């Protein structure tokens, strides 16, 4: 097959760029080793931000007495945290 563009990586730039080229009528191949969306969406930025936000909430709950709030034992269930990614 012949392509007008071959893009490597379906991260933040690869996906939109391949769509733009296709909209222009180009024949495009998009190559991705793992997951569409790239590292940031699948294992990097987004999941990390979710985990950091959950950790911050747990920290506030564990230290609630500083603000005059009584909270019992605080635990984190990672299954719901991971579903938000």
Phi/psi region, residue 78 (left: phi>0; alpha: psi -120 to 50; beta: rest), is: alpha
Residues 35 and 52 in one domain: no
The overall average pLDDT reported for the chain is: 89
pLDDT band at 85 (very low <50, low <70, confident <90, very high): low
Rg (Cα) of the chain, in Å, rounded?
21
Residues 34 and 50 in one domain: no
Provide the 3-class DSSP secondary structure of residue 37.
coil
pLDDT in tens, 2-33: 999 999 999 888 999 999 999 999 999 999 99
Q: Quick check: 47 and 85 in contact, CB under 8 A?
A: yes
Residues 79 and 49 in one domain: yes
Residues 31 and 49 in one domain: no
Residues 36 and 51 in one domain: no
Q: How many domains does the chain have?
A: 2
Structural domain that includes position 53: 45-83
Residues 56 and 37 in one domain: no
């Amino acid at each position: 097959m012949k392509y007008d563009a071959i893009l490597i990586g379906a991260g933040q730039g690869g996906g939109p760029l391949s769509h733009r080229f296709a909209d222009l009528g180009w024949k495009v191949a998009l190559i991705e080793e793992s997951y569409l969306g790239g590292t940031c969406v699948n294992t990097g930025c987004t999941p990390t931000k979710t985990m950091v936000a959950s950790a911050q909430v747990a920290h506030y709950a564990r230290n609630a007495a500083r603000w005059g709030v009584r909270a019992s034992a605080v635990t984190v269930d990672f299954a719901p945290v991971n579903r938000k990614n």
